[in-house]
A and B are shown apart, each in its own frame.
Chain A
Amino acid sequence: MKSKLFTVAKREYLENIRSKAFLISLVLTPVIMIGFSLLPTFFASKSETNTIVIGTVDETGWLSDKLSQRLNEKYTLPDKQPSYLLRIFREEGIQTHRKIADSLVLNEEIEGVFIFPKSIENDTLIEYRTTRTGNIRLVNRFESAIQEILREERMRRANVSDEEIKKFSQSLEINPTKITEEGEEKKVDFRTQFFSSYIFVMLMFMLILTTGQMLVRSVVEEKSNRIVEVLLSSCSASDLMRGKILGLSGLGITQVSLWAIIGITAVPQFAVMMLSANGIWLMPIYFVLGYLMYSAIFVGVGSLVTTEQEAQQITSYISLLMVFPIVLALNAFENPNSPLFQILSFIPLMTPTMMALRISVQVPSTIEILATITLLLVSTFVLMWLAGKVFRIGILSTGKRPNMKELILWAREG
């Protein structure tokens, strides 16, 4: 009766590939993903199109001019206009000027105002008054510029020659070079690392989410329409379940392959970059196992609930668990082998994503890889088996959701 499994799989594949939902997710998902990665940079550069006017209330008489000069050297807009323009209040009497400047800030004529008191030449604290304290980039740029100017000025007053001043204020650049066991030297591009694992995790997430939802929807539809009775009078529950997973996995793989083809033709160099990432061959193993494990969970859950809304709720919580490691991505890049990440790698629901993140930075020890794969394999099998039991009974029951005790009973009976 093997063929019935394939009959089910074939129908699930064909019916869904023709559906509008599939087409929409096929087109919309890459659009959203590209949007997510491009929009922040787009907006970040967009804010750089206008000259920002900053006020300075200056008792020193010289600091503002030097600052203005240095800012012009360092920061210009694409159209060669200066990024920052200083409006200087030079006369004595900080208090009155501060009031005038404040009102200008409040009227949004200037972005903010720096206060340089006479004491600044020996002090370390500068006041910046603004309505928008969130503009960290501006503050950082001014901070370093003012710091450099003050440092140089202090050295000059200590009779250090201009040449020596230049020598002292040289900045340093670190050039990281990665050593691998093959003795190869590779320049590490942080973006390669980040993107290869990030894209892997996102792809897996999208695949599991879309096919997972299709799985749940298909189970819930058959359950609520009583189609399932007709089906079960024709084939076994396990054929039905495995057929569904097989058919919809095929669909998911079709989807991901189409994306991959589009991606490779659009930016071939990117594909090369991804393929050269560390331990890329391990990714598919975690990918497939993780996918099967989540499919089992979705099928089991789908057979327990009676409405699609209920199903969506539960499945989105489960999916969140899977992407949780993304939150830790930056930390994982810093220190992929910290005990916390090692422990998280052994929680089966997080293993695929956690390992994907770690592998791209530094391939963990062989023992750890074998252990996580074994654990993942075992838990996938157990979950599949459990899902089969729950599916067999759950798919026929309607009404209230079963509690834990009933579930255990079902697992024993099924």
Chain B
Amino acid sequence: MELREFGNKEMWDTSKMSYILLQLSIPPTLRFKMISVLNLRKQFSNVTAVDDVSFKAQRGKIFGLLGPNGAGKTTTIRLLLNILSPDDGQITFDGFAFSSALQNKIGYLPEERGLYRKSKLLNTIIYFATLKGLSESEAKKKAKEWLARFELLNYAERRIQELSKGNQQKVQFICSLLHNPEYVILDEPFSGLDPVNQLLMREIFLEQRKAGKVVIFSTHIMEHAEKLCDELILINKGKIVLDGTVSEAKKRFGKNAIYIEFDGDGSFLSSMNNVAKCQLFQNYAELELNNNESPSEFLRTIVAQLNVTKFETKEPSLYSIFLELVGNDSTEFIPKQSELGMTSNGRVVQK
């Protein structure tokens, strides 16, 4: 379906050795079937927002772009969308450089709500869809289908400002997916959604993956990334600090990690000698023991002081890897309870 000429000028313009090597490192069946980013760099007047970032987001996989606020996620996404142009590096879509024809194949969800507040729901959706090259009648038909799926059909003639934040987010979602894009790029898609709608979004994510699309999404909430991503990169201050699959990442940071749930005051845990790290919550904790400590020995010492209801040795969560890599100074990492979707009224205590 796609035109793929190897004589494509733009592709050979980017014929750096590293680019060829990158392509060769991928199995032939997958070659070019992805968004590939190589040595991307973008500098604003005094900050390097994106610094030598390379990754490949393959078709049929969900790719996570993680990092704290201000890490360069949104800039990276804007570069992908060609809203900004990079100072250096290349981005290719299935082997092709960006062209205006490609715009119709990209679906984008911005971080903040990008909707006309005073316009009507249906009109807005149709406008964005026609901008992506759909005819008006086609757009209208599909818009109604999507609105029905999101249970918004009754609101079709309402103004957007009358909608709740969560519903506005759903409309934004419809706008980014209605034209059935090949490349789905979503900036913080879960913010402002209740757990029920988060499930609906998840379902759609998996649908898109199944349809063989490139799905890239950014988040600063690790739980989402952990549950959804096939592959991920973690960026901080514009640089990649971690990449690979979720399990690879965990293996690499596989330490003597323990997860416990308990009743009682667990505050003493953080000051124990054989504990290297401690994420302490109201009634659970993630601990990292010193290298030569045995977990079962450790359990024996704490049961004397705590009523332990669950004890598990485990891989570290992405969240703790995060803190480790990004540093404890980035307070925006402390997840809100609602964002984590956890039942505990946990409070993060950092050692």
Number of B residues whose C-beta is below 8 Å from A? 29
Cβ of A227 under 8 Å from chain B: yes
Given A233-B83, A234-B128, check contact A228 B114 (CB 8 Å). Answer: yes
Contact partner of B112 among A8, A225, A235, A236, CB < 8 A?
A225
Residues of A210-259 contacting chain B, CB below 8 A: 221, 225-236
Give B84's nearest chain A residue, CB to CB: A396
Contact partner of B114 among A7, A15, A230, A235, CB < 8 A?
A230
- CB atoms of A225 and B117 under 8 A apart: yes
- CB atoms of B84 and A230 under 8 A apart: no
- CB atoms of B131 and A1 under 8 A apart: no
Instruction: State the CA gap A338–B220 with chains docked (Å).
Output: 68
Given A226-B111, A229-B78, check contact A396 B119 (CB 8 Å). Answer: no
The 5 closest A-B pairs by CB, nearest first: A234-B131, A233-B108, A226-B114, A227-B114, A233-B81
- CB atoms of B108 and A229 under 8 A apart: yes
Q: Which label, helix, strand, loop or mixed, suits the secondary structure of the A interface? A: helix
Instruction: State the CA gap A234–B82 with chains docked (Å).
Output: 10
CB-defined interface of B93-135 with A at 8 Å, one 1/0 digit per residue? 0000000110110101011111111110001000110111000
Besides the contacts A15-B123, A226-B113, what 19 more A-B pairs have beta carbons closer than 8 Å? A1-B100, A1-B101, A8-B131, A221-B117, A225-B113, A227-B114, A227-B116, A228-B114, A229-B83, A230-B108, A230-B110, A230-B114, A230-B175, A230-B176, A233-B81, A233-B83, A234-B128, A235-B131, A236-B100
- CB atoms of A232 and B83 under 8 A apart: yes
Residue from A11, A15, A230, A231 with most neighbouring chain B CB atoms (10 Å): A230
Contact partner of A4 among B117, B123, B131, CB < 8 A?
B131
- CB atoms of B127 and A226 under 8 A apart: no
Give B83's nearest chain A residue, CB to CB: A232
Contact partner of A221 among B110, B113, B116, B131, CB < 8 A?
B116
- Closest-CB distance, A188 to chain B (whole angstroms): 51
- Which residues of A are found within 8 Å of B115, using beta-carbon distances? 225, 227
Instruction: State the CA gap A4–B108 with chains docked (Å).
Output: 17
- CB atoms of A396 and B111 under 8 A apart: no
- Closest-CB distance, A265 to chain B (whole angstroms): 33
Q: Which residues of chain A have a CB within 8 Å of any CB of chain B? A: 1, 4, 7-8, 11, 15, 19, 221, 225-236, 396
Instruction: State the CA gap A4–B119 with chains docked (Å).
Output: 19
- Which residues of A are found within 8 Å of B117, using beta-carbon distances? 221, 225
Contact partner of A15 among B84, B119, B130, CB < 8 A?
B119
Contact partner of A7 among B82, B100, B123, B130, CB < 8 A?
B130
Instruction: State the CA gap A231–B124 with chains docked (Å).
Output: 12
- Closest-CB distance, B171 to chain A (whole angstroms): 12
- Which residues of B are found within 8 Å of A235, using beta-carbon distances? 100, 103, 131
- Which residues of A are found within 8 Å of B116, using beta-carbon distances? 15, 221, 225, 227
- Closest-CB distance, B43 to chain A (whole angstroms): 12
- Closest-CB distance, B119 to chain A (whole angstroms): 6
- Closest-CB distance, B189 to chain A (whole angstroms): 14
- Which residues of B are found within 8 Å of A19, using beta-carbon distances? 118
Instruction: State the CA gap A227–B109 with chains docked (Å).
Output: 10
- Which residues of A are found within 8 Å of B176, using beta-carbon distances? 230
Instruction: State the CA gap A48–B83 with chains docked (Å).
Output: 68
- Which residues of A are found within 8 Å of B128, using beta-carbon distances? 230, 234
CB-defined interface of B64-94 with A at 8 Å, one 1/0 digit per residue? 0000000000000010011110000000000
Instruction: State the CA gap A225–B124 with chains docked (Å).
Output: 14
Give B181's nearest chain A residue, CB to CB: A233
- Closest-CB distance, A349 to chain B (whole angstroms): 31
Chosen A-B contacts, 24 in total, with CB atoms closer than 8 Å, are A1-B101, A4-B131, A7-B127, A7-B130, A15-B123, A221-B116, A221-B117, A225-B115, A225-B116, A226-B111, A226-B112, A226-B113, A229-B81, A229-B83, A229-B114, A230-B175, A230-B176, A232-B81, A233-B81, A233-B82, A233-B103, A233-B106, A234-B131, A396-B84
- Which residues of B are found within 8 Å of A1, using beta-carbon distances? 100-101
- CB atoms of A225 and B127 under 8 A apart: no
- Which residues of B are found within 8 Å of A4, using beta-carbon distances? 131
- Closest-CB distance, B3 to chain A (whole angstroms): 17
- CB atoms of B110 and A229 under 8 A apart: yes
Residue from A19, A227, A396 with most neighbouring chain B CB atoms (10 Å): A227
